[in-house]
A = this chain, B = another copy of it.
Amino acid sequence: MTPVNVQCRLAARPVGLPKPTDWEFVREPAPEPGDGKLRVEVEYLSVDPAMRSWMNAGRSYVPPVEIGEVMRAAGIGRVIDSHHPDFQVGEQLYGVFGVQRYAVCDARGLTRVDTSVAPAPVHLGVLGISGLTAYFGLLDVGRPEPDQTVVVSGAAGSVGSVVGQIARIKGCRAVGIAGGEEKCRWLVDELGFDAAIDYKRGELRAQLRDHAPDGIDVFFDNVGGETLEAALARLARGARVVICGAISQYNATEAPRGPANYMQLLVARASMTGFVIFDYSARYGEGVAALAQWLGSGELRSREDVVHGGIEQFPEVLLRLFEGGNTGKLVLALDGEQPA
């Protein structure tokens, strides 16, 4: 029996926050996989701020999702048909399957998911691209040294929460910036951050002064905008600013805001460096091994914010990211009610 696929396609380029009319849902039979291909039932979708940037036209680190295309998404799914010798029916795989119930794909970019190490959603979070982004972005780009002060924005998110924990593991002072008292308490009490700054309380610059009295040695930025400016104003000599994301700017309807005080890079003899995790793919093994070891020893904690639903829930789950609605890795588990 041919399964009926449900796809979430991009219907229009959003202006500001994506609206319901920016999406189109299509139900049609999932095609048979041809030679060398697989049919996968998608079980979990990774929901990430960067998705918003993929919806825009223009030069970026990946091509934009085109109008009419299935929305790009990484996920975990189970093989239900295999015409590829390396993969068997029943195996759980990680891949960029898109926001759809069934994906027909070749083997490119697929990796096996070992749920004996950790449940599937963890493989989208700490043991997946989020954790690897934190690992290589902090250690390779940020190059923190023991006793230095590492400040991370978006600290309660899937990447930021791991950045601060790795900073602690490496002997740094970890300071997180997050929205709301509850998230801040979680960072300090559960994850062991040295301090957390609630940007919703305002006075971000004064709070940074209090919690980074000797300046910021590494600033890992997921947020951009005012947060980036506040951090630039507080850099220690020789600081490294790691540009990972700019969630505050992704839905801007006017020209995005650049850091007006970028000349602080000169004052502090500092650098600001962008990176893309895909460049580290040859070293993912090293990263996953380290993250898994810390997870096993209890030095690193994972948290997944799993929403149960169907493909139709994707647009509203995505919006949670921009409302500060998630703590830890946001995952859509496709085990909820499917539309008839």
Contacts and interface: CB of A to CB of B under 8 A. Distances in A.
A109 to B, nearest CB: 20
A273 B265 contact: yes
A56 to B, nearest CB: 11
A271 interface: yes
Contacts of A246: 263
Interface residues of A, number: 33
A287 B243 CA distance: 33
Interface string A250-266: 00000111111111111
Interface in A246-302: 246, 249, 255-276, 279
Stoichiometry, copies per complex: 2
A43 to B, nearest CB: 30
A260 B257 contact: yes
A59 B267 contact: yes
Given A276-B269, A279-B269, A243 B263 contact: yes
A136 B326 CA distance: 46
A170 to B, nearest CB: 21
Given A61-B266, A269-B276, 19 more contacts: A59-B233, A224-B263, A229-B258, A243-B263, A243-B265, A246-B263, A255-B260, A256-B263, A257-B258, A258-B258, A258-B259, A259-B262, A263-B274, A265-B274, A266-B276, A267-B276, A268-B274, A269-B275, A270-B273
